[in-house]
Amino acid sequence: MSGDYAQDSITQAFERACKRAGVDNPSKFVFGAEIGGNISNADGSYSITDGVDTAELKFEKKHQFYIDLKPGYVVQDNTLLYGLVGYQNTKFEAEGFWNGTSVGTDDDTFGGLRLGAGIEYMTEANTSFRLQYHYTAYSDKTYNYPGYTEKWDGHDSTIELGLAYNF
């Protein structure tokens, strides 16, 4: 590790930000926020049959946007453990089938509580790697098809590996 790295640990970077804001924080607790989004083509389907008729729901995740609050604790000068609590908004496209025939399509946007945790390791003055997990519990929706009703109770679990640039 270089000499510059020792001067720009997570603790020191946070202390400098606190001083600029006029806040004295001698603890190793930190707090931040993050806004983000991504594009997806993850898909899935669900079907049910009574032996004669078959109903199927196919869906595809299109994109999502989120905002998180990130409370954390600096365990070493270059390592941060943090939690995530926030809100996620995700768009899905869905299509229903009855005995193999399309009975309708729908584009739906669901929102939900987003919770998670992660670890971030600072490698250079402004660069860090992170590993995090988050879970989102979406709002429910009921789909009504001829002779069949499906209640969608969605959730999302994600593990992410990332590279962050802090400015």
Quote the pLDDT of residue 65. 94
Quote the pLDDT of residue 11. 58
pTM: 0.70
52-88 pLDDT tens trace: 988 888 888 889 999 999 999 888 878 889 999 999 9
In the chain the domains, ranked by start, together with CATH numbers, are 3-165 (2.40.160)
Cβ atoms within 10 Å of 6's Cβ, excluding its own? 11
Quote the pLDDT of residue 161. 94
Can you name the residues that pair with 93 across neighbouring β-strands? 60, 107
Give just the sign of the alpha carbon dihedral 30, 31, 35, 40.
positive
Q: Does residue 30 register a pLDDT over 50?
A: yes
Residue 152 φ then ψ, to 5°? -95, 120
Residue type present at position 97: F
Task: Compute and round to an integer the Cα radius of gyration of the chain.
Answer: 22
**HEC states along the chain?**
CCHHHHHCCHHHHHHHHHHHHCCCCCCCEEEEEEEEEEECCCEEEEEEECCCCEEEEEEEEEEEEEEEEEEEEEEECCEEEEEEEEEEEEEEEEEEEECCEEEEEEEEEEEEEEEEEEEEEECCCCEEEEEEEEEEEEEEEEEEECCEEEEEEEEEEEEEEEEEECC
81-123 pLDDT tens trace: 999 999 999 998 888 888 888 888 888 889 999 999 999 998 8
Quote the pLDDT of residue 76. 82
Quote the pLDDT of residue 123. 85
**Binning pLDDT at 50, 70 and 90, where does residue 7 land?**
very low
